[in-house]
Structure 1
């Protein structure tokens, strides 16, 4: 079954609120075996809403509405849909009694417009609102299903989880739900990852493979419909094995977690400790690491040595290494190595990681924007330094540098 979500509200078009309802509903419908092909946002305008209904009716079997069920004149969803279906609006008496009781119990005069929240479309099924006043509605007309839900998430989600889902299940009958697994990759860009997976993507039928990216990380969603989680896992496992054969060296998790969380998991499993020395990243690595709950057991701390004098005082890096004619400079592979080694030694950690480079907007020490050195010092091993040439703005370069450092840590931990 194909579905379209129609979110009603001018405030959505103006960007005054974010349409989180669509995300929730898409995930919910996928779990019911319903494919969401389209999402539409339309303002509080009767003509444009009717047009959205007509378009949705032409390309979907289920239209799910959120918003426009309230008491004011711009709450038009039920009115417009009732007119489109040539049906009357009727008062749902239990909802009306609930509204009247709410006002009387609080000693508040109820204005006539509040009766609108108890209206439902003739021939439909009322959907109880356990957290608000506007009754929902479910209708099946000429082979198309219409599900009307409130706009506020605190009302919409409980209604969908309760009466809305029950009504849909009764209308849909048995349908295989959609199961998905998220694969997380690092150390490779979205386009390169997709290029390596083209043989699988071009030939995909079931399960399906869909890549999407965030800064410094790439995800693959592997999805299939199946009668049970066991059947789905078997189908997905077969596809994941093929993906790993092509790009397994970049796959760090089979769940939707950030790279820093997986690094902490590996440190914890191996009972290792980590310390950091940051220049270009200004503490961003430490921030990401400490955002992981419980990371204090693995991350002993770090220093932000942004200037040469701080590198000298805190990490005992000779000024002759950092400044003067013929000096390698702060932005160099040798300085990155010393930073990583000194912070590991000072903290008695198993790993020391360092970042130094140029984030911009201008070059530094005669070195270009985007040049970054990542140092990895590991107890009992020779220090490694990796040279990066990153693109993007200042914030993007810093984030990509940190994610690259985490990727190198991940590789080192897996090597062990």
Structure 2
């Protein structure tokens, strides 16, 4: 089944509101085996919205619209859908009762509230449990239209509670669907992956898509099939070929994160971790503790931005700071070992570098980073030169530190 998403609202075209709904819905639909072919953003204009909906229904089996369900004159979605499908508008008493209940603490209903209780005739109403604008599902000639409220705080729970069960029922009637697996790759760019996987990139099925996620790459394996067992067999075979060629550069599958993979390895080996951060300013610790259950292995960290903090909290020698500078291999190693001993951890990571935009020199340019890894048998320090703006350099440092630890744990015994 192919789908389109139409996001309505002039505010989306003015750059005042970020359209997170299309991103959310695409992820949800893809996970259900529904291929999203187009995204549209249309302002509050009746003629343009009519054109967009007609085009979508001509080429897709499922059209989802967000926004335009409010009480004002520029909320046009239901009216347009009724026109396209040749339906009249009906008043839904239950929806009106829910709206009145929502505003029970007010002396009067907001103007136009009753407009939210009108729907194209025959529509299946989707309740809004957190707001006043219900959604709806309509079917005609094997094509489906779903209308949802614009605010993500209302749209997402409505989709998860009411739309997903409806789509599951619809998908049971569809023979062919899309099957997807995503491999997460660190340390190779798009052109390098194309060189490693040239024959696989040329395959029609399963086909590969490379997505740059900035700090890593997604290799998306997709197959359309009416035979689920065959689809997963072919995807598994393709994944095996990719892993043979890329080895440990593949760090995760589907929704797995670097920090989650590292956390699982630490937990399996019953090892503890501490961090010492300078240029990343706590981002590494934040990423690690974003995973539920990270207290099983993460003891804590030290943010030692100033040299004095490196001396007092991590026992970095003053002579090293004066001679080598804070951004150096020697200091990175001492930071890692210092926090490992201070917190009595099995392993420790340390970051020090120049994130910019200022502070660089010919000898130590912006983007220069040292990452230290301390363990009971010694200390490992690696030098990196990252490009980009400040946030980019800091984020890349965090992901590289996690990858450095993951690579160490893969050969740990």
Q: 1:163 to 1:366 in 2, by over 3 A?
A: closer
Bigger radius of gyration: 1
Q: 1:313 to 1:147 in 2, by over 3 A?
A: closer
Q: Mean alpha-carbon deviation: is it higher for 160-169 or for 27-36?
A: 160-169
2:376 to 376, 379, 382: 379
1:5 maps to 5
Which SS does the other structure have where 1:244 is aligned? helix
Q: 1:295 to 1:59 in 2, by over 3 A?
A: same
Q: CA deviation at 1:373?
A: 1.6
1:329 matches 2:328: no
Which SS does the other structure have where 1:373 is aligned? strand
Q: CA deviation at 1:203?
A: 1.4
1:21 matches 2:18: no
Which SS does the other structure have where 2:382 is aligned? strand
CA RMSD of aligned residues (A): 3.3
Q: 1:237 to 1:55 in 2, by over 3 A?
A: same
TM-score with structure 2 setting the length: 0.85
C-alpha contact 1:331 1:365 (8 A) present in aligned 2: no
Q: 1:91 to 1:41 in 2, by over 3 A?
A: same
1:356 to 352, 359, 362: 352
1:283 maps to 282
Q: CA deviation at 1:99?
A: 5.7
Q: Mean alpha-carbon deviation: is it higher for 392-401 or for 53-62?
A: 53-62
Q: CA deviation at 1:388?
A: 0.7
1:223 matches 2:228: no
1:245 matches 2:244: yes
Which SS does the other structure have where 1:383 is aligned? strand
Q: Structure 1: which 5+ runs fail to align?
A: none
TM-score with structure 1 setting the length: 0.84
Matches for 1:265-304 after TM superposition, within 5 Å: 265-304=264-303
Q: C-alpha deviations, 1:185-225, integer Å up to 9, x for none? A: 2233344334423321221412x332323342322233335
Q: Structure 2: which 5+ runs fail to align?
A: none
Q: CA deviation at 1:243?
A: 1.0
Q: Mean alpha-carbon deviation: is it higher for 254-263 or for 98-107?
A: 98-107
C-alpha contact 2:315 2:334 (8 A) present in aligned 1: no
C-alpha contact 1:8 1:42 (8 A) present in aligned 2: yes
Q: C-alpha deviations, 1:14-50, integer Å up to 9, x for none? A: 3444434334433444455432211112122112212
Which SS does the other structure have where 2:280 is aligned? coil
1:410 to 406, 410, 413: 406
C-alpha contact 1:126 1:135 (8 A) present in aligned 2: no
Which SS does the other structure have where 2:241 is aligned? helix
C-alpha contact 2:5 2:36 (8 A) present in aligned 1: yes
